[in-house]
Amino acid sequence: MTGRILIVDDNKDNLSVLKSVLKAQGFDVILAENGKDALEKARLSLPDLIVSDILMPVMDGYALCMECRANDLLKSIPFIFYTATYTDAKDEAFALNLGAQKFLIKPQESSVLIKIIQEVLENSRTVKQSADKPLGEEMEFFRKYNEILFKKLEKKIQDLEATNQHLQMLDEELQASKSRLESITQNIPGSMIYQAIMQRDGERKFTYVSDSVKKLYGISPDEAIADAAKIYSNVHEDDIVLLKQAEDKALKTLSTFQMDVRVKDPSGGIRWSSLTSTPALMQNGTVCWNGIETVITERKKEEQKQKETAERYKFLAENMNDILWIMDLDLKTVYVTPSIEAVLGFTPEERMQQSVQEQLTPDSLSVALKTLDVEKILEKRENTDPDRKVTLVLEYYHKNGTTRWLDAIISAIRDEHGVLKAIYGVSRDITEKKQAEKELLERVKELNCLYSIANLIEGSRSLPDLFQSVANQLPSGFVYPEVACAKIVFKDMEFETDNFRETKWKISSTLNVRGEALGSLNVFYLDGIPGAEDTTFLTDEHNLIKAVAERLGRVIERKQYEEERENLISELQHAMSEVKMLSGLLPICASCKKIRDDKGYWNQIESYIQDHSEAEFTHGLCPECAEKLYPGFLKGK
């Protein structure tokens, strides 16, 4: 259904809303802001329906309705009152008596309003309008109309009085608030409260500035209000652009902004001020900024010191080898320096997600938990040193699957009441130190083993006894002596420890004597040792068994030489016992020098000696005999 509808209302917003609703349904709409304007427009272009407010200037809705009913041209047009002011049942009865078809109270849902309008339009085409009312009834109308109007005027007057009283109260509160604000401002060191209006062209003007402007800028509030440039021109040129950007951003969202700027101080120096302001969009298009300026120069200096300290700490934390950490009393890491990644492979973020069970090996975890329990007991005792420190050596898991040993010096973190809240520590990687200590202990074991074997060798004992003693002593020089066994093989003899059993974990060294392999030294690790599948012998263990084999080889060689020497001595002694000794008077020829034996025969001297001794002879001439037998022979030579 379509048609032309005249809307009468002194509120432009109401007119605009109704116009949009009706046009959306296909109606032509005529707008009027009072009854008089509506009558003129209705006469020029007859509407199919009039929808009117009641309380309006110039001519109200009641008067408009009565004029329409008195006009032959307009009296058949259906009329709907749509009001938010006249809401009493008497107001509705009066309106309907005037000839209105409906009396509606604002606001109505759009769908409901459209439905009522359509019903009124439909009925107006089928229902004949009532006849004109006699003069007596018109007089009654004016009486009731005046009665209602006087009541509304009386109510309006009462409302105005109440409003005036409320405004007066608000003004008093405003003045009190202003006084309190001034008092607060005067008691906030280095602060100034202000209100500034920014025109559409960007020009600023202060409407209020607290007295503290004298200290901050060296001018009076009146001077600041008269010329805003006396304040804004003091903002540092490098910060004025940033301030403008912050204001524009806050204005788009009508949100509070805060910014720290440098300002020229009346003393001639530069100070830091914090500006906090909230924009409010006014009806005339201007922007009202309510804000506070606070001098923060000392805070800025302190912040700079803290920043420099933090940067130094950050440098140390990122470049130090030690790990600084904080744990709560449940041993949950809440902070750790970046150096942990270089030592244990985990990032600080990864570390703070780990439980203590994921950090420590089982043995070290047990030590840590027991220590924490002891410290909690000490906390409950009186006269316990609150600044005591605990030093622990713990084994930590590395991200690559290995472990590292760390030495930790641990202290307490307490609240203002001295109650233990957390612990912090400095941990240092001592893995290499632990490894060196372990290797030193192994060297000590090996040296003790070699020393004991040396004492066995130096003792006077047989080779079998020596071999058995060395076999029993040899496992003590290995990493796991409790699960080691040994066997010495020499020629066709074997010497074993009581627990000897051959396994796949074997180390051997050849027993060489005078360059000939006569046997071997063998050490075995038994089954069931930790990490047995990957068991390998250390280089030092290879060196140990090789050294013992070489020493035994030299001992055997020495004993063989000693036996050979003894045999030679024995044989010599035996030979000497068989040598015939010449003794007594030996008859010898003075001329031929033959010797007479014990049988009376005369023999050459050499024959006699050969028969009575082991001596052998060679023949030659002495000088005298040579000269005698061969005169001049020696001279010729």
Distance CA 509, CA 523 (A): 9
Q: pTM for the complete prediction?
A: 0.36
pLDDT at 320: 66
Element containing residue 77 per DSSP (H, E): none
pLDDT at 264: 93
Please check whether the two domains, 188-302 and 436-559, share a CATH topology: yes
Other CB atoms within 10 A of residue 611 CB: 10
Angle between helices 12-24 and 110-124 (to 10 degrees): 70
Tell me if the domain spanning 188-302 has CATH number 3.30.450.20.
yes
Q: Which residue is it, tokens 């009190």?
A: 176
- pLDDT for 526 equals 83
Pairing state between β 403-414 and 505-513: unpaired
- Give pLDDT tens digits for 300-315: 899 888 888 777 766 6
DSSP assignment of 373-427: HHHHHHHTSTT--TT--EEEEEEEE-TTS-EEEEEEEEEEEE-TT--EEEEEEEE
Domain ranges for the chain, please list them. 4-132, 188-302, 320-429, 436-559, 584-637
Residue 430 CB burial class (10 angstroms; 0-12, 13-18, ≥19):
middle
- Domain 4-132, CATH: 3.40.50.2300
The tens digit of pLDDT for each residue in 317-344 reads 666 678 989 999 889 999 998 989 989 9
Q: What is the pLDDT of residue 532?
A: 44
Q: State the architecture of 436-559 in CATH terms.
A: 2-Layer Sandwich (3.30)
- Taking the domain 320-429, which CATH number applies? 3.30.450.20
CA distance 579 to 309: 105
| Structural contact between residues 474 and 523, judged by C-beta atoms closer than 8 angstroms | yes
Low-confidence spans in the chain with pLDDT less than 70: 1, 125-160, 174-189, 313-320, 442-443, 445-446, 451, 456-461, 527-536, 575-584, 586, 590-591, 593, 608, 610-621, 626, 630, 632-637
Beta pairing partners, 509? 521
The pLDDT of residue 135 is 41
Pull the structure tokens for residue 590: 């003075």
Using omega within 30 degrees of 0 as the cis cutoff, is the peptide bond preceding 107 cis? Answer: yes
How much is the pLDDT for 555? Answer: 85
CA 14-17-22 angle, 5° bins: 120
Q: What is the DSSP string of 458-523?
A: HS---HHHHHHHHHHHGGGGSS-GGGEEEEEEETTEEEE-TT----SEEEEEEEEETTEEEEEEEE
Angle of helix 89-97 relative to helix 61-70, nearest 10 degrees?
20
Whole-angstrom Cα distance, residue 341 to residue 336?
10
Q: In the prediction, which pLDDT does 131 show?
A: 47
Tokens of 358: 């994921």
Those residues with Cβ within 8 angstroms of residue 406's Cβ, 6 or more apart along the chain or in another chain: 323, 343, 393, 394, 395, 396, 427, 428, 429, 430, 431
